[in-house]
A and B are shown apart, each in its own frame.
Chain A
């Protein structure tokens, strides 16, 4: 966890003061709504159906228990006793009052948190792998680089009014768990033959109306040039990105319309001119930032804990949770644990104030006081001793938070949709609930195996539906809620291409469905898959890749008609 310097603190404090003044000027009528809009957005504040929505950044997903307790406090004091984890390592409050938002931000600043640039046409919160720093397949720890990007992009004067929002993701392991190829810039931290750290840089990926997998524009960028290269990309985009049409304003359209080759040439020309300027990073700077990260203290432990192995053999329920929610750790004797926020009867990613406090309690007890927030809207305890797993499991179970569905169909990703969001065509949460109910049986979920099901309430794709193995998108048909279904999407691939490559955009299976039909359609897709799969470990998405979408389509529409 990065610890603020006095300098970092002064920036967030001054930002709170600035926004307090701006909010007061808006409330008094001195500042017009149009002028206040980008200001409030860049401080995380949307105007939604019922009330403003405040989106707070959890930079690259790391959070400590003091901060989690602050989340609980804010949920109680300023909201309706709950909060929502988004798909971008942010936490959202759905009911704050505008005049109290500066107070919320001031409270957050006391625990080194902020809502800076969580919305608006600027560089957003940089996201990364939830297992950064602890994953066994990690080549380069992306956290320090993510923090450097956070600092550089915070209140960057040149890039506060971009054509559109701008999202950067970074991953440093063999498997890209940050879905970097569907971001405006996707960075893979790696090492060259001599062991030097650098980045593979992709640009122009994204979901939304025009889903595109990003183009790799640099195979290896030495780390010293990270900032100047990012600036070169942003400058080209800021100057040449389209501003005439909101739907064509993302960098992906510029890359596509100008061609990736032309775009790369512009960036490289800009970079050549500035690469040895003052943006050049030094080892001392990187070390200084790295030194401000707390380091977990690990004990020397055997690879496996005998007690846990025995317990696992005797408790099928624990073993099942272990199989889905416990992940390998780079340090012997430790594990990472996912806490699923996909519970029957709760909207995906929602958590109550009491649960936040309880989770903080457990994180203090079983980890070194830190958690991670995942883009799948779940939480991760990163440093758990294997010997403690049974105790942690039973404590989570007592809270109803030991749901063993990570990677399964129950782990539905869903945006807030029509229940909260002004832009929605259709609701998401009730659809997630209907599917969750349909697949309530864990035996069934385990039989189906790995499956990502993602739901967005509109084409903005906050629920990342394009990259779900099954994606569900709310569409508006004659003022009614309908749902379009895609299959075969995938959020990431191995950078070395060993799993066939890359992020994939799902294919639309055909005309959309009424809300009441969706759970049946999903059931039919699953039944088709089960009848087609050749081995138990052939996943849904593998079958779609092998057979194409036709068998699925035929079955689904035969049943509907």
Chain B
């Protein structure tokens, strides 16, 4: 199981923080659960799911790199989690997905990087607006936590300004 961290520490050693992945079997998801849906399923059944999980449950969407975040722009207030997949750490599309969600569509909730999430990209992911990180199995939690401090300062605005405060020379 990948370990789930945020910049302050370990969120869940089991990597899910209680979220259940929808695998095509709705019966496996109990009422009141937190359920993470692929984009298509979310769009087709979002009303049904809301009823299914009820007031105590929560909905999340899992986006692949080619999914257009514009498609959930109007549903952001229904979502407690958006997970963005990195099928390979060299696939940088997720950074723009995160930026669009924060900057353009104003998503304020938890944004989770999943997949090939490695120590050396965490700083960039964090700056792009991700708040939780499901580390690849072989990654050291301790080193990953150190990565948030790779740089104490940055030149440019990025989507993390919706999450953290900082001052930049190009923003003076």
In the bound complex, CA of A238 to CA of B100 (Å)? 12
Interface centre among A31, A154, A238 (most CB of B within 10 A): A238
Is A235 touching B96 in the complex (CB atoms < 8 A)? yes
Give CA–CA (A334, B154) in the complex, Å: 39
Q: Mark B68-107, 1 if CB is under 8 A from A, else 0.
A: 0000000000000000000001111101110110011000
Known contacts: A22-B120, A35-B118, A284-B172. The answer to whether A158 contacts B95 by CB under 8 A is yes
* Interface-located stretch among B1-9, B16-24, B53-61, B155-163: B155-163
Q: B155 touching A155 by the CB < 8 A rule?
A: yes
Cα A532 to Cα B2 with chains together (Å):
72
B91: chain A residues within 8 A (beta carbon):
161, 243
Q: Complex formed: what's the CA distance from A238 to B96 in Å?
A: 7
- Shortest Cβ gap from B161 to chain A (Å): 7
Which A residues from 265 to 292 make CB contacts under 8 A with B? 273-274, 277-279, 281, 284-285, 288
Residues in A with CB closer than 8 Å to B155 are 11, 151-152, 154-156
CB–CB A148/B96 < 8 A: no
A35/B89 in contact, CB under 8 A: yes
CA distance A392 to B96 in the complex (A): 52
A158 touching B96 by the CB < 8 A rule? yes
Contacts of A157 on B, CB cut-off 8 Å? 95, 123-128, 154, 158, 160
Select A160's contact among B95, B104, B171, beta carbons within 8 Å.
B95
Contacts of B103 on A, CB cut-off 8 Å?
274, 277
* Contact of A7 with B104 in the complex, beta carbons under 8 Å: no
B89 touching A161 by the CB < 8 A rule? yes
Q: A11-B153, A35-B120, A151-B170 are in contact. Are A158 and B128 (CB under 8 A)?
A: yes
Q: Is B152 an interface residue (CB 8 A)?
A: yes
A161 in contact with B151 (CB, 8 Å): no
Count the A residues whose beta carbon is within 8 Å of the partner chain — how many? 41
Q: Which residues of B contact A285 (CB under 8 A)?
A: 169-170, 172
Residue with the greatest number of chain B CB neighbours at <10 A, chosen from A153, A157, A163, A277: A157
B150 at the A interface (CB under 8 A): yes
What's the minimum C-beta distance from B167 to chain A, rounded to whole angstroms? 10
In the complex, A163→B65 CA distance in Å? 12
A15→B155 CA distance, assembly (Å): 13
B95 / chain A contacts, CB cutoff of 8 Å? 157-161, 238
- Residues 156-185 of A, flagged 1 when their CB comes within 8 A of B and 0 if not, give 111111110000000000000000000000
With the chains together, A285 CA to B103 CA distance in Å? 22
B118 to A155, Cβ gap below 8 A? no
A155: chain B residues within 8 A (beta carbon): 124, 151, 154-155
What's the Cα separation between A370 and B170 when bound, in Å? 26
Q: How many Å from the CB of B101 to the closest CB on chain A?
A: 12
Chain A residues, CB < 8 A from B124: 155, 157-158, 160
Known: A14-B152, A239-B93. A278 touches B169 (CB 8 A): no
Q: Are A7 and B153 in contact (CB under 8 A)?
A: yes
Q: Who on chain B is nearest to A234 by CB?
A: B96
16 other A-B residue contacts (CB within 8 Å) besides A148-B170, A161-B121: A10-B153, A18-B151, A151-B156, A151-B170, A156-B158, A157-B125, A158-B96, A158-B158, A159-B92, A160-B92, A161-B90, A162-B92, A163-B92, A227-B156, A284-B172, A285-B172
